[in-house]
Homo-oligomer: A and B are copies of this chain.
Amino acid sequence: MISSVQMSAIQNLKNYCATLSDINNSISILSWDQNTYLPPKAHPERGQQIATLASILHDRQTSPKLQKLIAEAEDQLYHDSPDADHALVRVMRRTYNQSTKLPPSFVEEFANLTSQAHAIWTQARLDDKFSDFAPVLDKIIQMSKAQAEYLGYSDHPYNALLDIYEEGLTVTQVQKVFDPLVSKVSQILAQAKNTFNQSFSPPAPLAITKQQQFTKKLLQTIGYDFGRGREDLSAHPFTTMLGHNDRRVTNRYSSGDITSVFTAMHEGGHALYEQGIDESLARTPLGEGTSLVIHESQSRLWENLVGKNRHFWQFLFSQLQEYFPEVFLSQYSDRIYHQLHQVKPSLIRTEADEVTYPLHIVIRFEIEKLLLEDQLQTSEIPQYWNTKYKQYLDVDVPSDREGCLQDVHWSMGGIGYFPTYALGTIMSVQVWNQLQSELLDVPACLSSGDLAPIHNWLTDKIYQYGSTYTLSEVLQRVCHSDLQIQPFLDYLQNKYTTPNT
């Protein structure tokens, strides 16, 4: 039996968290608007408004009152308290520690530095001149090392930074996955380049308004609830959480290709995860998806494992034919399927295919690790970058703009973020394999466009729990395993070296 004192300590913490959640969601609303509808001249003031709310949130996340509430809740947790109560306390302890371990002066200095760095990076990228960015990046690396010291770690300072983006992630874990990846992917790559060798470009423009109708319909097909979300236009597609019943996606459209279709699947995957969280977790810190890796596993699962599956392609192509009968003639089906799977080592991470994508991440991971170990100086990044691109991808990097200046992450102080992209992709295959082993006749679901069984299985196994479980717990519960690279390599091997998969 649960005593009323215990209920009340947990409930008190929940009440406090409800306000944090409201402020957090308010920031997301301001920022969604910033990326969709904000009038051009209002950008600087919107930055100030977001900073004001962020500072109010930070004050409340570091207040002695919260410390007391967490301690009281910790005291009153029992072994058999519900998982969600244990998780609530664990997550709030983690948030509180992360927020209080860094001195306010450090937080302010880091924010100022990254704000400057972002402007410098933007200009350096325009000017194609890494040397202009190197000094400020160097300061970011130094402050990231200091940040690691404040946060604490065992074994490697990088562990402290990886942990910010994915609770408990370590260099050792990442390397265990990345080490076999490089050699094996290089082998697959050699064959994959020739497997899907047909290309396609639409013989007539694809009207943007039609595409918008199409992606709305597609989102509904995968189970996205427009009663609890929207799809809007933005320069860079994203998914954002404005409340339990308000998970929005954005997209962008080009009349020359069908990228918007797979962007809708990708952002839709993020959003299905968020829409599937149980209502009992609303306005608590467990009411959003657990982690970057699990999130990316779901966006990738819907984008690649469902969206580009041969069986689903039958359905998707028939839908495209309905909306654009003049473009998607039956004889093109195979050519487009090929086009979607073309493997071509390239310079830009965000445009990379499924096979080469993880290699882009491995290079960034290696550089971050070496920088933190003082084995590499920021000024040496371009040369290291270009050598690695030649070695792993066999491409020559003609400019820093298309090389080590391409990503925004470092300018924002996001050291430790990149690995989550690749790990999410790797995890998506483990989850997909498990789903196929438990569900009957997945191919039939896919070819008929009846995705409810897939959506329901994922909701049941993963989505409903929000942030209740950590990455390792989710993997154990769902796949009875830790993170494994082999299923991903097998998937690549199977799909990209056999023409008819």
- A374 CB within 8 Å of chain B: no
A49 engages B26 (CB within 8 Å):
yes
Q: Is the CB of A227 closer than 8 A to any CB of chain B?
A: yes
Select which of B19, B23, B48, B246 is within 8 A of A38 by beta carbon: B246
Interface residues of A in 28-83 (CB under 8 A from B): 29-30, 33, 37-42, 44-46, 48-49, 52-53, 56
Partner of A25, one of B22, B49, B226: B49
Decide yes or no: A245 and B39 within 8 Å by CB, A29-B29, A52-B22 being known contacts.
Answer: yes
Give the residue name and chain of the B residue nearest to A248 (CB).
B39
Taking a contact as CB atoms under 8 Å apart, the answer to whether B40 and A282 are in contact is no
Residue A242 CB within 8 A of the other chain:
yes
Asked if B282 contacts A42 (CB within 8 A), the reply is no
Contact across chains for B245 and A37 when beta carbons are under 8 A apart: no
Measured between beta carbons, the chain B residues less than 8 angstroms from A44 are 245
- Please give the distance in Å from A44's CB to the nearest CB on chain B: 8
Is the beta-carbon distance between A229 and B39 smaller than 8 angstroms? yes
Which residues from B are CB-within-8-Å of A46? 243, 246
Does A228 sit within 8 A of B, measured CB to CB? Answer: yes
Say if the beta carbon of A295 comes within 8 Å of chain B: no
Q: Kindly list chain B residues whose C-beta atoms are within 8 Å of the C-beta of A45.
A: 243-246, 282-283
8 Å CB interface, A363-419 against B:
none
Q: Decide if A94 is an interface residue (CB 8 Å cutoff).
A: no
User: Taking CB as reference atom, which chain B residue is nearest A51?
Assistant: B22
The listed residue (B39, B52, B225, B230) touching A23 by CB distance below 8 A is B52
> Considering the chains assembled together, what is the distance between the CA atoms of A44 and B245 in angstroms?
9
Say yes or no: A227-B26 contact (C-beta < 8 A), given A46-B243, A49-B243, A52-B19: no
Which residues of chain B have C-beta atoms less than 8 A from A225's C-beta?
A: 41
| Chain A 212-245 residues near chain B, CB threshold 8 A | 225-230, 232, 242-245
CB of A33 within 8 A of CB of B29, answer: yes
Chain A: interface residue total (CB-CB under 8 A):
38
Nearest B residue to A30, CB-CB:
B29
* Bound-complex Cα distance A52 to B19 (A): 6
B37 near A230: Cβ-Cβ < 8 Å: yes
Nearest neighbor of A45 in chain B, beta-carbon distance: B243
Q: How far is the CA of A39 from the CA of B48 in the complex (A)?
A: 27
- B22 engages A49 (CB within 8 Å): yes
Closest to A46 in B: B243
Would you give the 0/1 interface string for A455-488, flagging 1 where the beta carbon is closer than 8 Å to chain B? 0000000000000000000000000000000000
> Whole-angstrom distance between the alpha carbons of A242 and B33 in the complex?
11
A230 lies within 8 A of B53 (CB): no
Name A246's contact: one of B18, B42, B52, B228 (CB within 8 Å). B42
A282 and chain B: residue at smallest CB distance: B45
Interfacial chain B residues near A56, Cβ < 8 Å:
23, 56
Q: How far is the CB of A398 from chain B (nearest CB, A)?
A: 37
Cα A26 to Cα B52 in complex, Å, equals 10
* Cβ–Cβ < 8 Å partners of A38 in chain B: 246
Query: In whole angstroms, what is the CA distance A29 to B52 when docked?
Result: 14
Q: Point out the residue from B23, B40, B283 that lies within 8 Å of A227, measured CB to CB.
A: B40
Instruction: Tell me the chain A residues, 222-274 only, with Cβ under 8 Å from chain B.
Output: 225-230, 232, 242-246, 248
- Known contacts A22-B53, A23-B52, A41 near B230 by CB under 8 Å: no
Interface string of A9-24 (1 = CB under 8 A from B): 0000000001100110
Task: Please indicate which of the listed interface residues A18, A29, A227, A229 has the most CB atoms of chain B within 10 Å of its own CB.
Answer: A29
On chain B, the residues within 8 Å of A25 by CB distance are: 49
User: Are A245's CB and B29's CB within 8 A?
Assistant: no
Distance in angstroms from A284 CB to nearest chain B CB is 13
Contact B26 A228 (CB under 8 A): no
A228 with B22: CB separation less than 8 A: no
Residue pairs across A and B with Cβ atoms less than 8 A apart, 10 shown, are A22-B49, A23-B53, A23-B56, A25-B49, A38-B246, A41-B225, A42-B228, A45-B245, A46-B246, A49-B243
A residues sitting closer than 8 Å to B (CB atoms) are 18-19, 22-23, 25-26, 29-30, 33, 37-42, 44-46, 48-49, 52-53, 56, 225-230, 232, 242-246, 248, 282-283
Closest 3 CB pairs of A and B: A22-B52, A42-B246, A45-B243
